[in-house]
Structure 1
Amino acid sequence: VNDLSDVSLTDVEINAKINIHEGITTKEIHNLLIESAANLISVEKPNYQFVAGRLLNYQLRKDVWKGKHAPRLSEFLNQGIKNKIYDPIILENYSEDEINKLGEFIDHERDYNFTYAGIKQLCDKYLIKDRVTGKIYETPQFAYILIAAYAFAKYPAETRLSYVRKFYDAISKHKINLPTPVMAGVRTSSRNYASCCLIGVDDTKDSITASATAVSMATANRCGIGIDVSKIRAVGSPIKNGEVVHTGLIPFLKIYESSVKAWQQNGLRGGSATCNIQWWHYEIEDVVVLKNNAGTDDNRVRKLDYTVGMSKLFYDRVLKDEDIILFNNAEVPELYEAWGTKDFDKVYKECESKKLKIKKKISARKLFSLIVKERVETGRIYILNVDHANEHGAWSDKVTMSNLCT
């Protein structure tokens, strides 16, 4: 701690109030010292966050390395592969000499730059561990170099080591952050690095059930979910020539809610999903209130978030205090096909003049006020300005939905 000002190891020892007794373990003493240093962190003496962080780092090294000195990367990696911690595919991509070279890139001194909160977060969420026993299998710099090595494994052999080094330096010096699936997943056998997954749902039994499965699988693989339910037909719609009456969106949203909450993101955190619905959907008024505390569990779906797709036409009618028509997608599928394109306004106006079984006229301002009210009260109603997303986005495909990450 010689490089830290306004810290005292004596104060850490005194504050720990260690009661030495027969049978007390060195690990228990170490934990008390970590807790003591953490309790000394204050606005006046912020450097205790580094003292506590280093004490936690020393304990981590002792547990993982079984001593003071770091093992060679090749030994550490091979043992991890043997214990089924790391993906063995890396041995197919890198030679032994290359792995030894990667080991030379590692600077374990960079662990000392962690604050207590930083390294604790790493231990709790991102380092590979047995989440039943709590046993951690790696230290930060080994995790960083392996993330870099796996990420660039398919690059040309002539240049990839330089890419690995640059990337390792950037993440180990905390110049860039990595999303959770990359930080926790790259180097494991899961081979799933996506943070976000967008799922479009068609108006069929097969699509609705398949999308629920996709939500479950994606959540289990650490993805945050965006679901577009705007194609699902409106409540009261006929099915099989009127043999069945459609139950509407809410029962299906409950399925997605259950799918998301039944799975954890690979043990790291609970699943999450954002349902997208366009402003012109027949059930928009019922969907935007699903998050609030009114109503009952039967008519609320509170564990999902909601995004309302907006467009210039809607905003224009709000400003002019004009009415809008809410539609059933099953009757006007061309409306969704035009959503997010320059043709939408024209198609929408054509649909307004059609004679349809299920449609509803409401005030644009009334709907906008309802959306704003729910957004203010719950904080979990989001807006996607689809015209801007398509005009200014870098994507060649049409954007119709999003999720909280993007």
Structure 2
Amino acid sequence: MGAGETCSDIQVVRRDGSLTSLDVAKIRSVVEWACAGYNVNSIALEAGLTTRLRHGISTRDIQDNLIDCALGMCSPDEPEWRYVAGRLHVWSLWKDTQVRRGFAYGNYDHAVQSQVDRERYDRAILKYSQAELTEAGTWINPDWDKDYDYAGAVLLTKRYLLTNELPQEAFLTCALLLASTEKPEVRLTIARKFYEAIATRKISLATPILANLRIPNGSLSSCFIIAMDDNLESIFEEITNAARISKNGGGVGVNVSRIRATGSWVMGKDNASGGVIPWIKLLNDTAIAVNQGGRRAGAVTIGLDIWHLDVPEFLEMQAENGDRRRKAYDVFPQLVITDEFMRRVQNKQKWTLVDPYEVKEKLGIDLAEKWGDGFEAAYAEIEAELDRKITLYKQVDARELFKHIMRSQVETGMPYLAFKDTINRANPNKHEGYIPGVNLCCESFSNVKPGLEAHCCNLVSLNLANLDESEIAEVSQLAVRILDNTIDLTQPPFTDSKTHNDKYRTIGVGCMGLADWLAKRHLGYQSLTEISSLFEEVAYWCTFASMELAKERGAYAAFPGSEWSKGKLLGSKTVAEIIAISQNSDRFLRQSPTEGNSPAMPSRWLQLSQDVKTYGIRNSHITAIAPNTSSSLVQGCTASILPVYSKFFYDKWAKGTVPIAPPFIQECFWFYRENKSLDQKVVVKAVATMQQWIDTGISMELLFNLNQGVYFPEEPERAVKAKDIFDTLVMAWSEGCKAVYYVRTVQKDDFKERSDEGCAACAN
């Protein structure tokens, strides 16, 4: 306030444009409401605001100033100010909505009809009668809006809510639509269960579902994988398909391993092919041009098998030096690696890079389709024909090539690594094909056939931070039901993805907030028995739910002849293998909320195996753990299953920095080990433990702190060496991890950020 100016002299502009005298009591009331229940001093917030008041200030400006004050007071000692800021943001949302449409919460049926009339909501919501919508509106609990910190509240508002829509209305509408495929006599009951699980942040819907389900003609699938054949028709058709996926906000993996190498033959002319890079550049430019409705550039990961002759140039296509016409800076490179290559890396042997076109023409081998023993036999045959039938090749030192990969990862965070043999050994649909590589976030994959089938998957995540042990069974089953219903609601963006959706019904129930779950129990990432027990519970109940859905709705179309049909579970494991893994797990989690004690081990797995053989399984792939980088902020927990980078840090946003402080990590501040100082071999071992129970994949990022003395306190001068990173990556393969997502580094106590837009486009 100015000198001599009193509160009564200040006129405030209301949200509707009218003027009123400043009422400090109202400000105090809002401040006390926002601070209620938190260990903060509301008087300090009010005092911070008074210096910013002026004549003509708007109520929205007052609210924004309060938010700025609250954020400014947030610190490692007082992290709860970010929740105060979140409540103040929600208060503004409520008031703005009330001014625009005449009411805040209440009149849900009217709000729905208004959104339908303005073509913001899909008319499918009107499958419910007005009476049903009125009843559903009574479930809404506005207090659940008060649980978001500032980062979560802003992301929820800006990324997911439609015009004139409040958070609980969005969640309720999603729940009703997700239950709309159910039988009329039960759909309201099921919709309420969906709503309460979503609204209380026990289940997190992936971005395509939460953002697109309510709008007309929205695509709900998160992850896609396509593959190119070695001809112009296939190449350009798949580029078009990538554009269709990007238009609808999905992330796409493109395998290019079949495309002939640089220097190969074209129309009988030798040394005519430009290799894979020109086609990758077209995909790169497509991702920029088809920018997900203006929200952000498309997100494409390009997969190339490690034996392809163009691998060295592929590793250099994002380097600053070299021919700019053969660079692709906006895609996410992925190398598809075989066991044979990794063995040669370990043994310091030679590795042969070949042209898939020559191999197919001269030897009749389609090398891109090979994995496991089949690949090793074919590769031995190829190497036996070097300089006779096979003339276009290059031999390199396998370990030096791997070092080249590591250098690229330290510099750019990529390439991602997909362990092809591990992935395909766990493929339940070997009878129908093979998996060529991984999706954008390295957690979701299944069979792909160029021009016929494109991997298509829908995702949700369980928020472990908000789940008690007694809730895991019910919430896991709800998650599977949500995703199976989503398959019938979505409109895949092109024919091959619809074919795949109908044939395999692939879903991915994931988890987030594991770091919170561990911290609440004073456990760490070395607590492998407890981690194994937790993920066994999730695995059992998700698989059980899909089997129950098969009883009700039928098995997925490709079930006959699958590994499932033979009684194998969890990525082609026999019951004996599952029991052997389970015997190393703790038993404290096995309580069912509805049936008393869960079936005793090993009988429940034996029974489930028999039931799957008898009734089938509804979904060919069931569990997959996405990175959840952004959606975890909305959920108020740590991302995915990884340790949190730091107990308190600032995230850089377009409008400045926002404090991030996972709540349960804060409560156990003294106990929790931050990822920036955690040996990544511990992370790898924990992820490998989880992977035993996850039938698809896990987005595993690795973070290496390059500062001295971080991992070796007894050697203060020692920093991470290349051999340490090498050993960790080899360990990831040998321990059974299916992929490595980003490799990140900390240098000079500063977290070097890599782009997270890829994972945001896919799972988040």
Q: Contact conserved, 2:304 with 2:334, CA < 8 A, in 1?
A: yes
**Would the alpha carbon gap of residues 198 and 105 (structure 1) be closer, same or farther in structure 2, given more than 3 Å must change?**
same
Partner of 2:371: 340
Partner of 2:69: 36
Displacement of 1:216 in angstroms is 1.4
Distance in 1 (alpha carbons) for counterparts of 2:348 and 2:70: 61
Partner of 2:89: 56
Number of residue equivalences: 397
Partner of 1:399: 435
1:269 paired with 2:304, answer: no
- Give the 3-state SS of the residue equivalent to 2:396 in structure 1: strand
Alignment of 1:277-316 (within 5 A): 277-316=304-343
Q: Contact conserved, 1:181 with 1:194, CA < 8 A, in 2?
A: yes
Displacement of 1:42 in angstroms is 2.0
Displacement of 1:319 in angstroms is 2.3
Displacement of 1:229 in angstroms is 0.7
Displacement of 1:317 in angstroms is 1.9
Counterpart residue identity of residue 311, structure 1: T
Of 121, 127, 135 in structure 2, the residue corresponding to residue 86 of structure 1 is 121
Displacement of 1:113 in angstroms is 0.8
Counterpart residue identity of residue 399, structure 1: I
**Would the alpha carbon gap of residues 14 and 383 (structure 1) be closer, same or farther in structure 2, given more than 3 Å must change?**
same
Distance in 1 (alpha carbons) for counterparts of 2:104 and 2:119: 23
Q: Contact conserved, 1:278 with 1:308, CA < 8 A, in 2?
A: yes
Displacement of 1:377 in angstroms is 2.1
Bigger Cα displacement from structure 2, 163-172 vs 393-402: 393-402
Bigger Cα displacement from structure 2, 273-282 vs 144-153: 144-153
Distance in 1 (alpha carbons) for counterparts of 2:157 and 2:323: 40
1:106 paired with 2:137, answer: no
**Would the alpha carbon gap of residues 77 and 394 (structure 1) be closer, same or farther in structure 2, given more than 3 Å must change?**
farther
Displacement of 1:56 in angstroms is 0.9
1:246 paired with 2:273, answer: yes
1:76 paired with 2:103, answer: no
- After superposition, the CA RMSD in angstroms is 2.0
- Give the 3-state SS of the residue equivalent to 2:417 in structure 1: strand
Partner of 2:583: none
- Give the 3-state SS of the residue equivalent to 2:204 in structure 1: coil
- Give the 3-state SS of the residue equivalent to 2:356 in structure 1: coil
Displacement of 1:189 in angstroms is 1.2
**Would the alpha carbon gap of residues 379 and 57 (structure 1) be closer, same or farther in structure 2, given more than 3 Å must change?**
same
Give the unaligned 5+ runs of structure 1: 129-135
Q: Identity over aligned residues, as a percent?
A: 29
Of 129, 140, 155 in structure 2, the residue corresponding to residue 95 of structure 1 is 129
Q: Contact conserved, 1:309 with 1:383, CA < 8 A, in 2?
A: yes
Distance in 2 (alpha carbons) for counterparts of 1:244 and 1:319: 34
TM-score (norm 2): 0.50
Distance in 1 (alpha carbons) for counterparts of 2:139 and 2:310: 57
Partner of 2:629: none
Bigger Cα displacement from structure 2, 144-153 vs 393-402: 393-402
Displacement of 1:394 in angstroms is 4.9
Bigger Cα displacement from structure 2, 366-375 vs 214-223: 366-375
Displacement of 1:312 in angstroms is 1.3
Displacement of 1:309 in angstroms is 0.8
TM-score (norm 1): 0.92
Displacement of 1:240 in angstroms is 1.6
- Give the 3-state SS of the residue equivalent to 2:342 in structure 1: helix
Partner of 2:287: 260
Which protein has greater RCO, CA pairs closer than 8 Å, 6+ apart? 2
Displacement of 1:269 in angstroms is 3.2
Distance in 2 (alpha carbons) for counterparts of 1:68 and 1:205: 57
Q: Contact conserved, 1:236 with 1:246, CA < 8 A, in 2?
A: yes
**Would the alpha carbon gap of residues 224 and 167 (structure 1) be closer, same or farther in structure 2, given more than 3 Å must change?**
same
**Would the alpha carbon gap of residues 268 and 229 (structure 1) be closer, same or farther in structure 2, given more than 3 Å must change?**
same
- Give the 3-state SS of the residue equivalent to 2:357 in structure 1: coil
Counterpart residue identity of residue 368, structure 1: F
Of 230, 239, 263 in structure 2, the residue corresponding to residue 236 of structure 1 is 263
**Would the alpha carbon gap of residues 346 and 243 (structure 1) be closer, same or farther in structure 2, given more than 3 Å must change?**
closer
